[in-house]
Amino acid sequence: MLNSPQTAYNGAATQGRIFLIMTDSAKLPKIVILGTGGTIVSSGDDPLMLTGYRIKGLNVETLLCAVPELQYFARIEAHQIANIDSSSMTYSIWLELGRAIEKAAADPDTAGIVVTHGTDTMEETAWFTHLTAKTQKPIVFTGAMRPATALSADGPLNLHPQPFDWDALLGLLHKKPPRRSSYEAQLSDSDSLVTTTQIAKEYGCGAKVFNRLLHLHGIQYRANGQWVLYSEHHGKGYTSSLTFRLQRSDGSEVEKLHTAWTQKGRKFLYNTLKRRGVLPLAEQGG
């Protein structure tokens, strides 16, 4: 029998309070995470212990609490199938995992499934799942090389929205194209530029919060005091640089570089954030 679904997080204390206002969780896709144990939930005696660790009670819920950002990308339902060193994997656990995957996949609300697993037998369990799972929904296996208590634990990072390819996992199949909203209809094809502050206002926040939101969603990063698009978005005409010449009190002049969004970039932000449940004020429910 599966454990009853558990809430996997309570939200980040400060950023969660800000971003939850902007996120319509009811419209986020549902991801089922099935825990089986492994290094990813193992414990050492101290933070520098990278060998000889054991499973001592940490579980998939503990892991998810370390990645509160997931709540901005999906509704998470977590189940603990087993909590073992994967070298102790058995056929009976395989069968229980297979039934859990089948049950999750049969739920029309489920967009994808993630299995957390030890690395010793992850390949074998993934092959078993490949042979037995009768679904077109994505099933992703992930684990860790260092225990959860390590100073450099990599388990939470392997579930974090930026390194983890959540866009691929959440590529929902057979969805009808959404109707154009009133906000979407307002997006222009002109050559005019808009500032981050202007766009942020449409989402009910300031530029600083909106810039952090774009960073969280893997759109931009900060370098030398400026926000810069990640390489996969660079060179696509989403932004344009403006140079301002300012005069100092001593009469000297200094040039300041400012990045503005093109209308193409504005549409890119709207479509990317909407896929992840982040809506402008015009589309948020009352």
Q: 3-state SS of 180-215?
A: CCHHHHHCCCCCCEECHHHHHHHCCCCHHHHHHHHH
CA pair distance 267, 273, nearest whole angstrom: 10
Known catalytic residue at 39 = yes
**Long-range contacts of the stretch 196-201 (C-beta < 8 A, 24+):** 196/227, 196/259, 196/260, 196/261, 199/261, 199/266, 199/269
Vertex 108 angle, CA 107 and 111, to 5°: 95
CA pair distance 22, 206, nearest whole angstrom: 12
Task: Out of 23, 36, 39, 110, pick the active-site residue.
Answer: 39
Task: Evaluate whether 270 touches 187 at the Cβ level (below 8 Å).
Answer: yes
Task: Evaluate whether 50 touches 85 at the Cβ level (below 8 Å).
Answer: no
> Which residues are tagged catalytic?
39
